[in-house]
Amino acid sequence: MDSVHAFHSGSLAVQRRLGVRDLAAHVGRSIGPGIRPVAAAFLEAQPMLVLGAADADGRVWSALLAGRPGFVRATGQHTISVAGGVPDHDPLAGAVTPAGTAVGTLALDPRTRRRMRLNGTARPSPRGFTVEAEQVFSNCPKYLRKREPYPPDPDALPGAVRRGTALDPGQRRFVHAADTFFIATSAPDGMDASHRGGDPGFVRVDTPTELSWRDYPGNAMFLTLGNLESDGRAGLLFPDWRTGTTLQLTGDATTDYGQTERTTRFCVREVVEIPRAVPLRWSDPVHPPAGPRPA
């Protein structure tokens, strides 16, 4: 896939603004529609998958799906299947029911700090849903925290879903303590799910309905910022690695381009907190890499 087709107008505009168009064109050659054998093997070994999509009302969310390794697997060079689908308690429940739904997925292994993104269109299947891949590529481990798995808690059922339109004090502490979040964004050419990481406090809670974080150097493709340039809808997912609780936010985001740094500002529209949303349990970071520091 050449860079003309790898990037839409939003990403191209950000690349030109920051003077990295040539570098992005070079890196963008890694984006293709095919799932290579090494990627298929990586997917099949993972117990979790991040899903980005829009709900029936057009709100963008990021969801965390979990299962025994193998619940996500390649069924061909351009297709993956996801067993179990989206749980009923998740804001994206039912979102992939219409065939042709745009989705972004991110498979991440905290043990090895490897990750890969697969974006395309979903359709329901008898066991869950499938995704026809349009963009497949790996990301470097920059800003990822290495974690070791604990035995899953198969008896821990999800708690009562808490919904709101602003972060309460406990949820503000949840965000402030986070060293990882996932972000789903939308654009004319589809959906994307990506990762952000840093020391606790790297995401600022400016008000109960406003978050902000600095954007740090990455692969120069600027897929997330490019999407926000075209379509400000976004969905954030903050995981509690030790308990399986998730905090999901949907809203709108914009990016401020300063002379020395970039800051993304997110306006919260809706909040969903699900205690013990997934049975996976992980350690605290093991030798966290150098990465974003809170201001």
Edge-to-edge strands, sheet with 60-66:
60-66, 48-54, 101-109, 114-125, 128-139, 79-83, 72-74
Please report the domains of the chain, with CATH numbers, ordered by start residue. 3-282 (2.30.110.10)
Q: What is the pLDDT of residues 164-209, one digit of tens each?
A: 999 999 999 999 999 999 999 998 888 999 999 999 999 999 999 9
Asked if residue 294 has pLDDT above 60, the reply is yes
Mean pLDDT of 117-133: 95
Cα–Cα distance measured from residue 84 to residue 93, given in angstroms and rounded to the nearest whole number: 11
- Tell me, yes or no, if the pTM score tops 0.85: yes
159-164 mean pLDDT: 96
Among 130-139, 219-228, 247-256, the minimum mean pLDDT is found in: 219-228
The predicted-structure confidence for 13-55, as pLDDT tens digits, reads as follows 666 776 667 665 656 566 778 999 999 999 999 999 999 999 9
Rounded distance, CA 94 to CA 85, Å?
9
